[in-house]
Amino acid sequence: MPSWHPRWCRVPVFLILWCLCSCLPSLQASLFGKRELPKLSSDELSVLVSGVPDPVDKLDPANPASHLSKILIPRAPDTENITLVRNYIVSTLKKLNWEIEEDEFTDDTPVGRKKFTNIIATKDPSASRRLLLAAHYDSKFFPNYPENQFVGATDSAAPCAMMLDIAETLDPLLNDRQKRLEKGLLEDDDEDIADMTLQLLFFDGEEAFHEWTDTDSIYGARHLAHKWANTYQSSLNKRRLLSSQETEISSIEHLILLDLLGAQNPLIRSYYPDTAWMFDALVDTEKRLGESGAFEHGKEKSMAAGNWRSWFVSRDKHRSGFGYIGDDHVPFLKKGVSVLHIIAEPFPRVWHTLRDDASALDLPTMRRWSLLLRVFLSEYLHLKPEVLGKREELQETEEQILPDSNSHTRYKKNGSEL
């Protein structure tokens, strides 16, 4: 795999800083800089590692009911197949009662005018701030057989399946945090994060139709970044008072973009100084999980405690800000959004070939990614994973008032008299 390709943009540090500083001040930059995330206990980590849903069930391409199997088909923009995939993603998230917006638009491409649809799923639309987790769900367009059977397993079916797994895993924890907020039970250190929600963003049209250029690539991201930068928020739907100049894009605290993941032994680098602390937090999460033995899966012993190797390139060995890889985050970066780009570099050897199919994926690797993201996002959002493990116990001990038609006697849930 060559080290240089169209998506690599080697930009001088001063130019990147000038670009960022010239953007209007963003809410995420004003509220949070580097900060320490509350670390989950070993018991809480165990809940996320062994809890329901099992990431293997959701990410196994050999399981026809898995999220990955539903996505792992040719799905170029404006085709029947991408509609099938979009409907599956939307229906999965609607079952969790997330608010869904299908952002439809048309644009000119080198092969004619095409329709695109971004999928935006928001856990709590009333929250004033958002942490975005994103990936593209389209596969690259090829005009002729057999290349038009390209399924883009690492690019980016696996990341999309991981996002659905994350949504299902964290949904009850987000519900619990919302209940604690409504009852005034949040701890003092939760106040900063109480008005932030998780938003999932599935971009359409990331791939170029011919060659990667500024106009033939990231169609969905370019459209949505422009739209959100020119859409002002309604203070009636927000819990906090907003300035009249606050746009949808200014409510993004960070954008975490996943791409080219799922193959064995990826190398992940830190590209931006303002999210270096998030990169370091991921490294710390990986270390704690790896040392606990959480990465070991089945007969796979290379990830066992004492054997596993880090996927993250030390920031001492990689100059952050030297350049970036062109991807869906760039239009948001140019508008001042803080970005953590999680992408394998060098790219998988199968990149943009028919070999980027199920055989390119490694199930223990995908499971490890899911566990890393479960823990990192839980700590970022101040979630309480013990809710997953103790839900039945809490339900058993919770008192429920049952009206009796013949008396005023009150009963506990288990039926004993109060």
pLDDT at 233: 77
Helix (H) or strand (E) holding 381: none
pLDDT at 271: 94
Least confident of 180-194, 361-375, 396-410: 396-410
Residue 375 has pLDDT above 80, yes or no: yes
pLDDT at 27: 42
pLDDT class of 319 with cuts at 50, 70, 90: low
pLDDT at 297: 87
259 annotated active-site: yes
For 100-159, what is each residue's pLDDT tens digit?
Answer: 999 999 999 999 999 999 999 999 998 989 999 999 999 999 999 999 999 999 999 999
Q: Which is the catalytic residue, given 124, 155, 259, 328?
A: 259
Ramachandran quadrant class, 380 (left: phi over 0; alpha: psi -120 to 50; beta: rest) = alpha
pLDDT class of 189 with cuts at 50, 70, 90: low
pLDDT at 29: 44
Rounded mean pLDDT of 32-50?
A: 86
For 380-416, what is each residue's pLDDT tens digit?
Answer: 999 988 766 555 444 444 444 334 333 333 322 333 3
For 344-360, what is each residue's pLDDT tens digit?
Answer: 999 999 999 999 999 99
CA distance 160 to 201: 9
Most confident of 29-33, 205-209, 249-253: 205-209
Cβ–Cβ < 8 Å for 167, 46 = no
CA 379 to mean position of chain CA atoms: 14
pLDDT at 50: 86
Q: Using DSSP, state whether 372 is helix, strand or coil.
A: helix
pLDDT class of 12 with cuts at 50, 70, 90: very low
pLDDT at 267: 97
Residue 9 has pLDDT above 80, yes or no: no
Cβ–Cβ < 8 Å for 252, 332 = yes
pLDDT top residue among 94 and 30: 94
The percent of residues above 70 in pLDDT, for the chain, comes to 78
Rounded mean pLDDT of 195-203?
A: 95
pLDDT at 20: 42
pLDDT at 316: 78
Residue 16 has pLDDT above 70, yes or no: no
pLDDT at 137: 98
Least confident of 163-177, 191-205, 348-362: 191-205
Q: Which amino acid is at 396?
A: E
Question: DSSP assignment of 264-301, as one string?
Answer: SS--B----GGGHHHHHHHHHHHHHHHHHTTT-BTTB-
CA distance 207 to 138: 7
pLDDT class of 222 with cuts at 50, 70, 90: very high
Least confident of 22-26, 134-138, 174-178: 22-26
Least confident of 15-29, 67-81, 196-210, 312-326: 15-29
CA distance 211 to 287: 39
pLDDT at 252: 95
The neighbour count for residue 402, using CB atoms within 10 Å, is 11
Q: Which is the catalytic residue, given 168, 206, 357, 379?
A: 206
Rounded mean pLDDT of 50-73?
A: 93
379 annotated active-site: no
Rounded mean pLDDT of 27-43?
A: 72
CA distance 275 to 309: 23
